[in-house]
């Protein structure tokens, strides 16, 4: 038996046949669609390296079964830039040196974009850290991450950049 699903991934409709209903969204993205920006870290939803936007909400794609999201819109790190211009969160991460090894960076960026879209943090660094607490950085770049999120949030408000999802 196979399951047929259609997702809009980074603005492009993608039709996929699955032989197993247990395929996670992360595995579908990485192994079937060759979108390897979302990382497989803990595979238990504890590190946030696999964070993507699913219908505009940030989710750990390692915990989401692909068949459960037929018809959904997915945005991955590969889909944030527009016409070769980095998303403000991506640009701020570079400017604030908000990464070291880079493994967690795609998930951190996607979580930040989702958090900003949810309008949860305001200009409070402590609230940003709390809202981003589901994304772990083993290198300890948290100060740069917080600064980058606050900077990007301010830019997005000034520049009118819409949420990428």
So where are the chain's domains? 3-79, 88-159
The architecture in CATH of the region 3-79 reads Roll (3.10)
65, pLDDT greater than 80: yes
Question: Please, are residues 9 and 58 in contact by the beta-carbon 8 Å criterion?
Answer: no
Domain 88-159 - what CATH class?
mainly alpha
For residue 164, name the pLDDT band (cuts at 50, 70, 90).
very low
Tokens standing for residue 1: 């038996």
Closest residue by Cα to residue 24 from 2, 44, 10: 44
pLDDT tens track for 86-128: 999 999 999 999 999 999 999 999 999 999 998 877 889 999 9
When pLDDT is averaged across residues 13-40 and rounded to a whole number, the result is 97
Instruction: Please compute, for residue 150, the number of CA atoms within 13 A of its CA located in the half-sphere on the CB side.
Output: 15
Q: What is the pLDDT of residue 160?
A: 53
When pLDDT is averaged across residues 149-162 and rounded to a whole number, the result is 79
Question: Please, are residues 83 and 133 in contact by the beta-carbon 8 Å criterion?
Answer: no
Long-range CB contacts for residues 153-159, cutoff 8 Å, separation at least 24 = 153/116, 153/121, 153/123, 154/123, 155/88, 155/91, 155/92, 156/88, 156/89, 156/116, 159/88
Q: What is the pLDDT of residue 120?
A: 74
């Amino acid at each position: 038996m196979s399951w047929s699903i259609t997702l809009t991934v980074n603005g492009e409709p993608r039709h996929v046949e699955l032989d197993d209903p247990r395929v996670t969204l992360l595995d579908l993205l990485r192994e079937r669609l060759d979108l390897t920006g979302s990382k497989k870290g803990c595979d238990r939803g504890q590190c946030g390296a696999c964070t993507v936007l699913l219908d505009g909400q940030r989710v750990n794609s390692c915990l989401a079964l692909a068949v459960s999201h037929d018809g959904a819109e997915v945005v991955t790190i590969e889909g944030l830039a527009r016409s070769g211009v980095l998303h403000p969160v991506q640009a701020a991460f570079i400017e604030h040196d908000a990464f070291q090894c880079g493994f967690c960076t795609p998930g951190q960026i996607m979580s930040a974009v989702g958090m900003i879209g949810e309008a949860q943090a305001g200009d409070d660094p402590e609230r940003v850290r709390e809202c981003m607490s589901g994304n772990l950085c083993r290198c300890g770049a948290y100060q740069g991450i917080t600064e980058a999120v606050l900077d990007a949030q301010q830019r997005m408000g000034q520049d009118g950049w819409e949420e990428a999802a």
